[in-house]
Amino acid sequence: MPVIRQLPPSVVNKIAAGEVIERPASVVKELLENSLDAGATRIDVSVELGGLELVRVADNGGGIPPDELPLAVASHATSKLADADDLFRVRTLGFRGEALASIAEVSRFTLRSRTAEQAAGAELEVVAGKPSEVAPCGCPPGTTIEVRNLFFNTPVRRKFLRATQTEMGHVSEILVRLALAHPRVHFSLRHNSRQIHDLPPTERLIDRIGTFFGRELADDLIWLESRDDLVRLSGFVGHPNQNRPNNRMQYLFLNGRSIRDRSLQHALGEAYRGLLLTGRFPVSFLSFEMPPELVDVNVHPTKLEVRFQDGGRLYSQLLGTLRTKFLKTDLTHKLDPHGAETGQTDPAAAHDAERAAQLRSELVDWAKGQMATWRPDAVASAAPQPLGPRQTEFDLPRSSADRRPLELSTLISRAAPQGPSAAGAVAALASPPATQRTAPHSAHSHAAALQIHNRYLVAESEEGVVVIDQHALHERILYEHFRGAVLAGAVESQSLLVPEPVDLSGPEAAAVLEHRELLARLGLGIEPFGGDTILISSYPTMMSADSPAELLRSLVEILLAGGRAPERRDLLDELLHMMSCKAAIKAGDRLAPEEIEALLEQRHLAQDTHHCPHGRPTALVFTREELDRQFKRT
Ligand code: ADP
Ligand code: MG
């Protein structure tokens, strides 16, 4: 039997170092945080060979008295916590008292420090965890720490390091994050004696953003601010045309700390839904300030992740603030060369960009309709309407007075006697039940369009020519319609004559049964059938009846997909998107003239965004001026 032994302190420290100090950038992070905690207003960082040779951080902060130098490098020694309760109201960036000990354990480490009261400084050297005597030295007030030959005594760790440039990239990222979180502090960064950054203090975060990411991005940001009794949210988000292929440009700060938070990133994604193409991510520089008691920062070794006492509240605050802001902001105005408000448009902007901007703004105006009068909370708070399945008409909870009521006939489409063909779907749109025929259509009627390549509809509009993606538009319409029905508790559902059994895997069956009530709201009746078999007893009328099992499988996929915030509304939304996409007419479906007309008549329903639920545009506008210009008539 192996004997149980107490580990010697040096092994303990090496283990701790393994957690906190992964690479040179981790050293830079810990040292910068210490300097910020010490109240420094200027911090200079020098790095050699990507930090493998040297990391030096010099600050003008409060300094450490000579007799405390040995304690500073001892493990579990900190000036930032007094007792366990303090752990739950951390106001400093550091608090574990482990960083200096860990770094000194795996490097040649020098600490020089001087407080304001002292005439001279004091110095302490530590090599692989072995401290020397404290010796006097000459130095300015503040603290300078040098870390040489990182991991020289842990060769395995050293082997994991990447090329100098890669390591330097990580160092740079750390500096960028902290410099964005603390614009009032002067930072500088040198690599191999080359100056990389010199960032004078500023009151304006946007100055730092401009320095790091360029004026073009800085000019395309939207200021955001909201505050309730406990939390203040402020910062910038990118205009939708500033989007990225991943979420790395989503900077989030909490009480001066750069954090990563899945749920807040999800809220960002939600707010931009319909404004960005699928797979594109918005840019953000957002700070949350809140009492430290409301957040646990002691959940991640490098404190990158935190745990909020009330994460749902932050999620809603962020999403709500963004949505309200977007509704008030004309998201096209930055692109509009004549936009008086911006004053930021590059006067040298190419003709092409202007043209694109013009087209875009026309399109958005057309598609947005009365977006300005739409309030995001209206949907959620609207009381379910007393509608039985027999009724054929209802208002979308958010529809405004002058919009024509929707017709349930849209939903009945798939049950039309013609069978579940795409043509049938739109035919049902075109010929509402008898009770509906007298409804005033004129207000929104449009001249029929030309169908080309069985996928696009080309129509004349007041301002020019509209090219519509038939699938995208129908999908959008069905989505709006379906969502209205779900919110009103009025989804039409049809019982299956013979309930259909579907064999699923264990987790799939569990997920389905867990969300049974949700699926019922979507019109899908589910019964357990023993083992992992599920019985579909009814299905939404809107959907094609030929494969309820396939619909269920697609729904399960969404139910089991990871990375989703546990908000029920999002899940519902995702399910609705999927179902609308499935039910909509496809590209390649030939449409009859009445069907085209029916589709065009409904296009005002796609008003809250010019994109289909998957983020692709539903329509493009070519203005008459544009055509005139192209044909050299002007
Ligand atoms: P922590 O930051 O978690 O307290 P560290 O090991 O990083 O632990 O630092 C230990 C202590 O050394 C700190 O609590 C602080 O009192 C002191 N210290 C470290 N760096 C500095 C600095 N740059 N300026 C002043 N004091 C410092
Ligand atoms: Mg620290």
pLDDT tens digits, 368-404: 442 333 333 333 333 333 322 222 222 222 222 222 2
Among 234, 241, 323, 327, CA closest to 276? 241
Spatial separation of the C-alpha atoms in residues 249 and 346, rounded to whole Å: 23
| Atom nearest to 75 CA in ligand 1 | 6
Q: Is any ligand 1 atom within 6 A of the Cβ of residue 93?
A: no
* 46 CA distance to ligand 2 middle (Å): 18
Tell me, rounded to whole angstroms, the distance of Cα 464 from its chain centroid: 36
Q: What is the pLDDT of residue 354?
A: 52
Per-residue pLDDT at 336 exceeds 60: no
| Tokens read off for 558 | 């969404």
| Mutation probe of ligand 1 site: the residue of 100, 103, 114, 146 with most atoms within 8 A of C-beta | 100
Burial class (CB in 10 A: 0-12, 13-18, 19+), 514: exposed
pLDDT digits (tens, 9 = 90+) for 436-480: 333 333 334 444 788 898 899 888 877 788 888 888 888 888 888
Higher pLDDT, 499 or 172: 172
| Atom nearest to 59 CA in ligand 1 | 23
Q: Is any ligand 1 atom within 6 A of the Cβ of residue 50?
A: no
Q: Detail the DSSP E strand segments found in 311-446.
A: 393-394, 406-407
Higher pLDDT, 507 or 236: 236
Higher pLDDT, 544 or 525: 525
DSSP 84: G
Q: Mean pLDDT over residues 139-168, rounded?
A: 90
Per-residue pLDDT at 307 exceeds 60: yes
Q: Is any ligand 1 atom within 6 A of the Cβ of residue 95?
A: yes
Q: Is any ligand 1 atom within 6 A of the Cβ of residue 29?
A: no
* DSSP H or E run through 149: none
Q: What is the pLDDT of residue 427?
A: 39
pLDDT digits (tens, 9 = 90+) for 402-442: 222 223 233 233 333 333 334 444 434 433 333 333 333 33
Q: What is the pLDDT of residue 232?
A: 95
Strand partners, 46: 56, 190
For CA atoms 486, 490, 492, 494, the dihedral sign is positive
Spatial separation of the C-alpha atoms in residues 419 and 422, rounded to whole Å: 9
Q: What is the pLDDT of residue 330?
A: 66
pLDDT digits (tens, 9 = 90+) for 162-190: 888 889 989 999 999 999 999 999 999 99
Of 16-25, 302-311, 337-346, where does mean pLDDT reach its minimum? 337-346
In the block, tokens 């259509």 appear at: 441
Largest CA distance in the chain: 97
pLDDT category of residue 621 using cuts at 50, 70 and 90: confident
Of 44-48, 130-134, 172-176, 549-553, where does mean pLDDT reach its minimum? 549-553
Spatial separation of the C-alpha atoms in residues 232 and 225, rounded to whole Å: 8
pLDDT digits (tens, 9 = 90+) for 547-584: 788 888 888 888 887 544 445 556 777 788 888 888 88
pLDDT category of residue 116 using cuts at 50, 70 and 90: very high
Three-state SS across 451-507? EECCCEEEEECCCEEEEEEHHHHHHHHHHHHHHHHHHCCCCCEEEEEEEEEEECCHH
* 105 CA distance to ligand 1 middle (Å): 15
Spatial separation of the C-alpha atoms in residues 160 and 23, rounded to whole Å: 9
Strand partners, 490: none
For residue 140, what are the contacts with CB-CB under 8 A and spacing of at least 6?
60, 114, 121
* 185 CA distance to ligand 2 middle (Å): 18
- Measured by CA distance, the residue closest to atom 7 of ligand 1 is 99
Tell me, rounded to whole angstroms, the distance of Cα 16 from its chain centroid: 33
Q: What is the pLDDT of residue 325?
A: 85
